[in-house]
Structure 1
Amino acid sequence: MTLRHLPLHDGWTLTADGPVPVGLPTGGVPAAVPGTVHTDLLAAGLIDDPYLDDNETRLGWIGRTDWTYRTTFEWAADAHEFTDLCFDGLDTVATVLLNGTELGSTANQHRSYRFPVRPLLREGENTLAVRFTAPYTYAEALREKLGDRPGAYTEPYAFIRKMACNFGWDWGPTLVTSGIWRPVALESWSGPRIAGAKVLADLDDDGVPRLTLTLDADRAGGGELAASVSVVGAGASAAFLLPAGEDRATVTLSVPGAEVWWPHSHGAQPLYDVVVRLGEDEVRTFRTGFRGVALEREAFRISVNGEPVFVRGMNWIPDDCFPSRLTRQRVSERLDQALAANVNLIRVWGGGLYESDDFYELCDEKGLLVWQDFPFACAAYPEEQPLYDEVAAEARENLVRLAPHPSLVLWCGNNENLEGHADWGWQEKLEGRTWGYGYYHGLLPAICAETDPTRPYWPGSPYSGSPDLPPQDPASGTVHLWEVWNRVDYRHYADTAHRFVAEFGFQGPPAYATLRRAVSGPLGLGAPLIAHHQKAEDGDAKLLRGLGDHLPQPAGFDDWHWLTQLNQARAVAFGIRHFRSHTPYCMGAIVWQLNDCWPVVSWSAVDGDGRRKPLWYALRQVYADRLMALRDGALHLVNDSSRAWRGTLVLARYGLDGTLLAETETEVSTAPRDVSRVPLPAALATPGDAAREVLVARLGELRTVEFYEEDTRLALPPARYDAEVTPLTHSDGTDTVYRVEITAHTLLRDLALFPDRLDPAAEVDDMLITLLPGESHVFHVRGAVLKDPEALGTAPVLRCVNDTVGR
C-alpha cells in the first residue's frame, strides 16, 4: 500500500455567522490553518494584540460568536480505494461539511477526527467548510442542562472538553478560542492500512528491555495479513500474522541489545527507531527508549530503572494562549531553559493540554521526565453524557499517542479537584451531583491499566493515596503548598517535612523589557495597565506583603520591580533548600511554574516573552546536583549525584566589613544520592552581632552565604564597588559579549544585572551573587550591541540589596 497524504492548509477564509463589532471584508478574512480565530483577526488588523495593554477586555465577543472556515481544493481520481479527511485537532465544537454534505460533528479539542469521504469527492474543485459553534454557547447550554458545578472560577470550562485556561486563570487572560488548531489532510490508500499502533517500551522483571506492540489494521478483505516489528540498531525483530477476520494483534519481544534510557540527572538517553510493517508496503516508524518506571505510593517516590529519582521539577502551562503558534524551536528553547536550571521533570498541568508530539519528543531527547495530568483542573466536572464518552475517547487516544515516549513516567487524574471536593466547600453546593470522582477513581485508572500498564496512575494532586485521607496529608502522597504566597511568610515552608511537594511558588513581575512591551502607559506603582497584567486575586498587595521583614517596601517602580523579583527568587529557593534537606523522606519539589502564556506578573521563572527572571538563576543554584542547606543548627550537604562528595568543609563567620571572626575546617563525605548533616560549631552558630555578621560555607568550588538577620535589620553599608566593562567581539564582528567585572569594596548583597533595560535582546549569564569586600565576580552579557556599555555598571541595570536598605 502506498499512502497519499494531501495537506489542506491553503486558501482558507473565515467568516462570522452573525453580527460582530468589527468590519469583516466581503468573502471573509484570510485564515491560517492550523490557527485560531483570534490570530486570524489579529493578522487581518481587525483586532488589537490581546497581549498588550488591556486589549483583552474588548475581545470577549469572539468566544461568543459562531464562525465558519472555508476552503476549496482540487482533487482528481487516483488508483486508491479509500480516502479519509483527517483533522489532528478541532477547537472545539464543530460541524464538518464536504461539498455541502455534513460529515459529522465534534466537541473535544483533545481528540483527532477521521471521516471517510471518497464517495463525496468530485473531480476538480471541492469545497470544505468547518462551522464552529461558540464555546460559550455550547458550555453554558450544557451547564444549564446538567446543573452548575462549583469551581475556582465562574467560567463554564468544566462543561466543554477544551483547554480550561482559555477561559482565564490567575495568570492568564480570557481568550476563548475557536479554530482548526492542528493539521488537516486528505489521506488516500488501497489495501490494508495501519489504523493504529501502540508501542510500549519498558524492562522485564530481570531488567532486560522489551517492546510490546499492539497493531490495529484497517482493511477491506478478510484474509491473513503478514506484519513485523523491528528495533533499529538493537538487533531485535519479530514477524507475526493477523489471522483472517482479525484486525488487532499484540506481540512482545525482548530487546537485550538496547541500552536503557535515563533522566538526564541519572544517565544517558539512547533512543531507537521502531519500524512497524503491515503487508508489503505499509510502514510506520516510532521513536522510543527503554526504561522501567515505578511509584512507591505512600512515599510518592518515583523510580526509573530501579533507581529512586529526587524530582527537581517545574510545572508547565500552555506556552501560548494560541498553541498553533508554537514551533518546535520555541518549545525546545523553553525546555532548554528548564534543563539549564537543572530541572529533571516537567509536570504538564491539568488546565491545559495533552501537549504536541514535539514536546514529548524533545523531552525524550533532553532527558526531561514528564508528569502528565489529564485535562481537569480546579472545578467539579460533570460525569454525564456527552462528556463521559468524550473523556473516555480522548484518554484512550492520547494514551496510545504518547505511549512510545520514555520521558512520560506518570499519568495523573486531575489538578486540585480532589482537594476542592474535600476542602473548598463544594459538597454542599453540589447537592449530590457528579463532580469527577468516577473519572479519577474509575474510568481513567481502568483505561490506563488496559491501555498503558507500563506507567503508574495517580488519581490527582494533591492526593494522599486514599479517598479516606485528607488530600493534603504531608506524610503521604503529594501536597500543594499555597498558604505561602496567599497568607503566610515563606519561612513557613520550613514548618513541616513533606513527602512530595507538587506545587508551590511565589509571584514576581516579568522582565523590564517584557513589561515595557506589554504596557504602553507609565510603569508606575498602581498603574492601571500594569494592574491588568496581574490576574491573581489581591496579587499586587500580596507582592508587597510578601516582602515581610525580608526586604524594605519599595520607594518607586524600579525598586518595586527589583525587590519583588528578588523576593520571588528567595522564597522559592528557601522552600527548595528545605525540601531537599529532607531527602529521602521528601523525594520531590515541583515549582509553580516554568513558563507564561503572555506578558504577566506571575509565578513563572521564564516570562511570557521567554526572558529569565531572577527566580530562574536561583533555581539553577538550588536545583544543582550538590547543595548546601542550613537548617536547625546544621549544614545539610545534599548530594544528588552519582559520585561521593568529599572534601574539606570550611565554615567561617565574618563581619560585614570582611573581618574574619571565627573559622573551622572539617573533612566531610556524603554518599551518592544522599544527605549528610554537619552541626554548626558554637562559635559559628551564634554571632556576636547578628546585624553585622555573615556565615560563609565552602566545600570545593561550592560556596553558600547565610546571614544571621533579615536584610531589613542588617547593617548593610552603602554599596561601593568598581565596575569594569569590556566589549569582547569575535573576529567577524558578530556576537558581541560584554565582560562586566564587579570588584566589591563593601559587602554586596545579591548582585544582579538587568541588561534588557538597555536592549530587549540582551541577557546575562549569572545573577544573585553576594561578594565580600575585596572579592570580584565577572558577568557576561550577550545578545545585543549596546550604545552605552558603561551603563551595565550602574543602577537601575546593576542592582544589589544595599541600594534599598538603610537609606
Structure 2
Amino acid sequence: MTYRPLHDGWTLSSDDLTGVPASVPGCVHTDLLAAGLIDDPYMDANEHRLTWIGRTEWTYRTIFTWSPDEHERTDLVCDGLDTVATLVLNGTPLGSTANQHRSYRFPVRHLLREGGNELVVRFGSAYAYAEERRAALGERPGAYDEPYPFIRKMACNFGWDWGPNVVTAGIWRPIGLESWSRARPAEVRPLARADGTVEVRVRAERTTEEPLAVTAEIAGVTAEGRLDGRTGLLALRVPEPRLWWPRGHGDQPLYDLTVRLGDQEWTGRIGFRDVELDREAFALKINGVPVFVRGVNWIPDDCFPSRITRERLAGRFAQATEAGVNLLRVWGGGRYESEDFYDLADELGLLVWQDFPFACAAYPEEEPFRSEVEAEARQNVARLTPHPSLVLWCGNNENLEGHADWGWRDRLEGRSWGAGFYHDLLPSIVAELDPGRPYWPGSPYSGAPHRPPNDPARGTIHIWDVWNREDYRRYAAYRPRFVAEFGFQGPPAYATLRRASSDEPLTPDSSHQKAIDGQAKLLRGLGEHLPEPETFDRWHYLTQLNQARAMAFGIERFRSLMPYCMGTIVWQLNDCWPVTSWSAIDGDGRRKPLWYALRRAYADRLLTVQDGELALVNDTPEPWAGELLLTRLGLTGEPLAKEAVSVHAAPRSVLKVALPRSVAVPDDPAHELLAARFGGGRVVSCYAEDTAMAFAPAEYDAQAERAPDGYRVTVTAVTLLRELAVFPDRLDPAASVDDQLVTLLPGESAVFHVTTERELDTAALTRFPVLRCVNENVTP
C-alpha cells in the first residue's frame, strides 16, 4: 500500500474571487484571512461582516502529477470535507458529500492520467443546503434560529451562546491517493478487557476472493487466522496485563497492537480496562472501582479545526490535568475529535465522554439524514474503539429535555425529532461495534423515556436556573446523582480582551458577549456577594472572581455529597475565540481566575464548609487523618474561639464534622471569620457576604524581585486581604502566575511566581491594576 497526500498547489475561487492560494487541510475563512482579503473574524465585530462566506459557493482546485504503479486499486481518500461538496477528477464527477463528520473514499485509478491531473472540489453553501432541507421537511424547534439540524455539520459553526457564526467550507482534514492490491484493512476494532483478552475484528475491502492470511500481535502474543470473506475475528489473551486506570487511580500502560492482512499492516495502541455504568445512580466504575468524575465540558478549541495542532491540544490537556480534571465531555454541538485528542487522553488518563453530534434542537430522521447519521456513527464508533480513555457514548446534548420540557411537542406537530436516533439507531450501533462501552441516550436523562429528563434523583442533570435566573447559592438546594452541565460566566483575561478589541478605552461591552442578556446577568450575579463595579477594571476583576466563586461553591457542594453524587462536569473548560463565557481557559489559552478555583475545588483532598459542617473530601486511596483546628477570628486576626477535633477520613470517602457552636456562631458576623486548618491546608470562610463585611481598606507590603524564569512577588498583609490576585498579563500578554485568589490574615505572607521572558516594571507588579483584592484601597 502507498499513500500520497494531495495537500499542495490548491487555489480557491468563487464568483467574485479567483486564484486565491489555499491551504489543505484548511477552510475558506483561513485562506481568505491568509490572503489579506478579510479581517480576522475573531476581532471586534468582524464576525457579523463575514456571514456572506457561509452563503457563498466555493471551488478548490489543484493540479498534481501521477505515474502508474504496480497496484490494482487507487482511491481518492477524503478524511474530512466540510460539508456540501462535489468532487471532479479530470472532468469526471466522482460523487457528492453532505457530512462533515465522516470520511469518503472514491475509486479513481481508471480516471488518472500519466502526468498532470486536475482535481476540483466544489463546495455548495451550507446555508443553502440546510435551508432547502428545512423547507422540504418542515421546521424543527431549536435553541437558535439557525438551520443546523438540517445538515450534518458542526452545529456551533452557526453560532452559539459562546461562539461566533462562522459557517465554514473546505477540505478540513487530509486528502490523498491510496494505492493497494488484493486487500486492505478497511476497519480494525480491538475490544480489550481487564482480564487480558483482546478480540480483534477485521473488515477488509478486497479485489480477490482468494483466502487471506490475517494475524494480530500484542505483548509477544500472536493469533493467526484466514479471511475467506470480508470480515474476520482473532482472539488473543495477554497474561497478567497491567491495567489502564484514570488519572488519580493508577497508571496508564498502553500496549502496541499490530494487525496484518496479507501484506498490509494496521498498528494502534490499546489499554486493558473494564468500564461499567450504574444506570440508576449514574456512576462510572473502572476496573470495578467507582470513580468520582471531576469533569469539564470540551467544545471545539477553534472554529477552524486545521489550526488545532497536537501541541495545542497537549497544552490544553495539561491545563485540565493541572486543575485536577479526570474527564472531558466532548459536547454534542461540536464534532468527533482528532486521533491526537484521544491519544493524549489515553496517555494522560483523562476519561472521555463522547456525545454524538446532536445538540439543542429537534433533528429530522428522514432520508438522507438517517443514512448519513448511520454512516458517520459506524465510522466513528469503529475508529475510536481502541482508545481506553473513551468510557461513554451519549446520544445527544439536551434534545430529550427540549422535547419534554421546552414546548417542542406542540411545535413539531408529529414530525420526527431524533428519538429514533437516540433510543434505537445509535444504541444498536454501539452494541454491535463497541459492546464493551456503555451508551446513554442523552444528557440530561433520568434513565427511562417516561421519566422527566432532568430529575436530580436519577441519571444526569444540567443546572441552568443558576446563571439564568437564580443566585449561585441555589446549588445548595440540589441533591443530584450526577451533574453533567453547570456553569457561570466571566470575562476573558485582560490581554485576551485587549488583543480582540480596538476599543479605547476598554469597556465591559468591548468583550464579545453572545449569551442572551449576558451583560445584565453578569451584574445581577454579583448579587449580595460582591460590590457593584464602578469602573471597567473593577468590573473585570469582580465578575471574574464571582465566576470562580460560583463554580467553586457548586463543585464543593456536589463533591461533599459523594458517594450519592458521583460526578460534576463543569461548563466549560475552553473557548474557541476571545469571548465572555463560562470557560476556565479563555480563547487565547489564558487561565481565568476560575481555573485556579477549579484547581482547589478539584483537588484530591478538599476542605469545605457545608450547612454548618466541615466536609473532608478524600478522593485518594489512603486515609486522611489528623487534628482539625477550627478558629473563629476577628478581622484583625485575633482568635475569638478555638476548637481541635481528631478526624479520620477513609479512602475515597467524605467525612462531615459538625462545627462546634463556639466557632459556628459568630458574635458579630460582619467582623468575624472562620478558619479551618488541616493536613497543611487552610480554608477561610466569612460569616456574612463580602458586601456586609466590615473589611478595612487593604494595606500591605509588596515586593517584586527577579527569579530564574520571571519574577517573585511577595505580599505581606497589614490588614486582611480578601481574594488577593496578580494579573501579570496586563504588563506582558505572555506572562502567567502560579496562583490567584488567596485570602491573607494580617501578618501573613504569600509568594506569587510570575513567569515571563520580558523585563517588567517591578513597581507595577505590586500595585493596582496588576495586584488586586476585594477590599483594595483604590479610589475609582
TM-score (norm 2): 0.99
Report the CA distance between 1:256 and its aligned residue.
Answer: 2.0
- 1:355-404 CA-to-partner distances (Å, cap 9, x unmatched) read 00000000000110000000000000000000000000000000010000
Indicate conservation of the 8 Å contact 2:508/2:536, yes or no: no
Counterparts of 2:412 and 2:504 in 1: how far apart (Å)? 45
Q: CA deviation at 1:146?
A: 0.3
The separation in 1 between residues aligned to 2:757 and 2:462, in whole angstroms, is: 40
1:277 alignment counterpart: 260
Q: CA deviation at 1:480?
A: 0.3
Deviation of 1:712 (Å): 0.1
| Per-residue deviation, 1:593 | 0.2
- Give yes or no for contact 1:637–1:677 (8 Å, CA) kept in 2: yes
Paired residue secondary structure (1:144): helix
Deviation at 1:526, TM superposition (A): 5.1
Q: Check the 8 A contact 2:330/2:355 in 1, yes or no.
A: yes
8 Å CA contact 2:714, 2:751 repeated in 1: yes
Higher mean Cα deviation, 609-618 or 212-221? 212-221
The residue type equivalent to 2:518 in the other structure is: G
Q: Confirm whether residue 249 of structure 1 aligns to residue 223 of structure 2.
A: no
CA distance in 2, matches of 1:177, 1:225: 43
- Asked if 1:120 is matched to 2:111, the reply is yes
Give the AA of the match of 1:744.
Answer: A
Distance 1:656 1:404 in 2: 57
In the other structure, the counterpart of 1:5 is 3
Aligned mate of 2:727, from 747, 754, 758: 754
| Secondary structure of 2:719's aligned partner | coil
Alpha-carbon separation, structure 1, partners of 2:196 and 2:692: 59
8 Å Cα contact 2:498-2:506 kept in structure 1: no
CA distance in 2, matches of 1:672, 1:792: 42
* Aligned residues of 1:711 and 1:805 also touching (Cα < 8 A): no
Where do residues 314-353 of structure 1 align in structure 2 (5 Å cutoff)?
A: 314-353=296-335
The offset of 1:802, in angstroms, is: 0.8
Aligned to 2:251: 268
Aligned runs of 1:650-669 on 2, under 5 Å?
650-669=629-648
Q: Does the CA-based 8 Å contact 2:508-2:540 persist in structure 1?
A: no
Aligned counterparts, 1:124-139, within 5 A: 124-139=115-130
Q: Does 1:504 align with 2:483?
A: no
- In 2, the alpha carbon distance for the partners of 1:648 and 1:557 equals 44
Q: Does 1:308 align with 2:290?
A: yes
* Separation in 2, partners of 1:311, 1:526: 34
Aligned to 1:440: 422
SS of match in other structure, 2:588: coil
Match of 1:539 among 495, 518, 525: 518
Match of 1:703 in 2: 682
Structure 2: gaps (5+ residues):
none
- Does the 8 Å CA contact 2:5/2:174 hold for their aligned counterparts? yes
Partner of 1:100: 91
Distance 2:756 2:90 in 1: 52
Contact residue 84 and residue 99 of structure 2 kept, 8 A: yes
2:206 to 219, 238, 242: 219
Q: Which residue, out of 420, 423, 426, partners 2:402?
A: 420
The answer (yes or no) to whether the contact 1:715–1:806 under 8 Å persists in 2 is: no
CA, structure 1 residues 804+549, in 2 after alignment: closer, same or farther (shift >3 Å)?
A: farther
Question: What amino acid is the match of 1:225?
Answer: L
1:474 and 1:757 map into 2 onto residues whose CA distance is 42
Task: Give the CA deviation at 1:523.
Answer: 4.2
- Deviation digits for residues 412-456 of structure 1, max 9, x if unmatched? 000000000011110110000000000000100111101110100
Q: Aligned-pair distance for 1:251?
A: 2.0
Give the deviation of 1:192 after TM superposition.
2.3
Is 1:599 paired with 2:578?
yes
What letter corresponds to residue 407 of structure 1 in structure 2? Answer: S
The offset of 1:282, in angstroms, is: 1.2
Q: C-alpha separation between the residues in 2 aligned to 1:728 and 1:632?
A: 43
The aligned counterpart of 2:756 is 783
Task: Tell me if the contact between 1:53 and 1:518 (Cα under 8 Å) persists in the aligned partners.
Answer: yes
Partner AA of 2:66 in structure 1 = W
Where in structure 2 are the equivalents of 1:559-638 lying within 5 Å? Answer: 559-638=538-617
> Closer, same or farther in 2 for the Cα pair 1:724/1:526, shift >3 Å?
closer
CA contact (8 A) 1:552 1:804 kept: no
Name the amino acid aligned to 2:134: R
Give SS of 1:801's match. Answer: coil
Deviation at 1:65, TM superposition (A): 0.6
- Are the equivalent residues in 1 in contact too, given 2:699–2:777 (CA < 8 A)? no
| Separation in 2, partners of 1:703, 1:641 | 19
Please give the per-residue CA displacement for 1:231-264, whole angstroms capped at 9, x wherever unaligned.
1xx3322111113xx1110122222242110001
User: 1:209 deviation in Å?
Assistant: 2.0
Note if 1:358 corresponds to 2:358. Answer: no
1:445-524 aligned at under 5 Å gives the runs: 445-524=427-506
How far apart are the structure 2 equivalents of 1:457 and 1:194? 27
Matches within 5 A, 1:113-192: 113-192=104-183
Cα deviation, 1:319-370, whole Å, max 9, x if unaligned, reads: 0000111100001101110010000000000000000000000000011000
| C-alpha distance in 1 between matches for 2:4 and 2:138 | 44
Paired with 1:463 and 1:624, the residues of 2 have a C-alpha distance of 28
Tell me the SS of whatever aligns to 1:789.
coil
Shift of 1:211: 1.0
Structure 1, unaligned runs of 5 or more = 730-735
Partner Cα distance (1:523, 1:466) in 2: 53
SS of residue paired to 2:379: helix
Is the CA contact (8 Å cut-off) linking 1:472 and 1:478 kept in structure 2? yes
Which amino acid is the alignment partner of residue 147 of structure 1? G
Opposite residue 125 of structure 1, the aligned amino acid is G
Shift of 1:39: 0.5
In structure 1, C-alpha distance between the alignment counterparts of 2:541 and 2:243, rounded to whole Å: 45
Deviation string, structure 1 residues 482-502 (Cα, Å, up to 9, x no partner):
000000000000002100000
Q: Does 1:395 align with 2:377?
A: yes
Instruction: Give the superposition deviation at 1:107.
Output: 0.4
Rounded Cα–Cα distance in structure 2 between residues aligned with 1:790 and 1:264? 41
Structure-1 separation of matches of 2:719 and 2:193: 57
**Larger deviation, residues 185-194 vs 552-561:** 185-194
The aligned residue for residue 63 of structure 1 is 54
2: CA distance, partners of 1:412 / 1:192: 34
Are 1:686 and 2:659 matched, yes or no?
A: no
Q: Tell me, in whole angstroms, the C-alpha distance in 1 between the residues paired with 2:771 and 2:196.
A: 53
- Offset, 1:806: 11
> Is 1:771 the counterpart of 2:771 in the alignment?
no
User: How far apart are the structure 2 equivalents of 1:155 and 1:738?
Assistant: 49
How far is the alpha carbon of 1:189 from its aligned partner? Answer: 1.5
Cα deviation for residue 317 of structure 1 reads 0.3
Distance in 1 between residues matched to 2:748 and 2:777, nearest whole Å: 21
Q: Deviations over 1:490-528 (max 9, x none)?
A: 00000021000000000000000000000001244454x
Q: 1:147 to 1:804 in 2, by over 3 A?
A: farther
Q: Deviations over 1:264-312 (max 9, x none)?
A: 1111000011000112x21110111111000001100011000000000
SS at match of 2:587: coil
Deviation string 1:634-663 (CA, Å, 9 cap, x unpaired) is: 101100011000111111111010101111
Is the Cα contact below 8 Å between 1:758 and 1:786 reproduced in 2?
no
Report the AA paired with residue 759 of structure 2: L
Work out the CA distance in 2 between the residues paired with 1:428 and 1:787. 62
User: What is aligned with 1:235?
Assistant: 220
Q: Which amino acid aligns with 2:408?
A: W
CA distance in 1: counterparts of 2:316 and 2:652, whole angstroms: 27
SS at match of 1:454: coil
Q: Tell me the alpha carbon deviations over residues 540-597 of structure 1, each in whole angstroms, 9 at most, x when there is no partner.
A: 0000000000000001000000000000000000000100000000000000000000
Compute the displacement of 1:783 (Å).
Answer: 2.4
- Whichever residue aligns with residue 238 of structure 2, its letter is V
Q: Which residue of 1 aligns with 2:197?
A: 210
Once the two structures are TM-superposed, the CA of residue 726 in structure 1 deviates from its matched residue by 1.0
State the superposition RMSD in angstroms: 1.1
Give the share of equivalent positions with the same residue, in percent. Answer: 65
Note the C-alpha offset of 1:195. 1.8
Secondary structure at 2:236 match in 1: strand
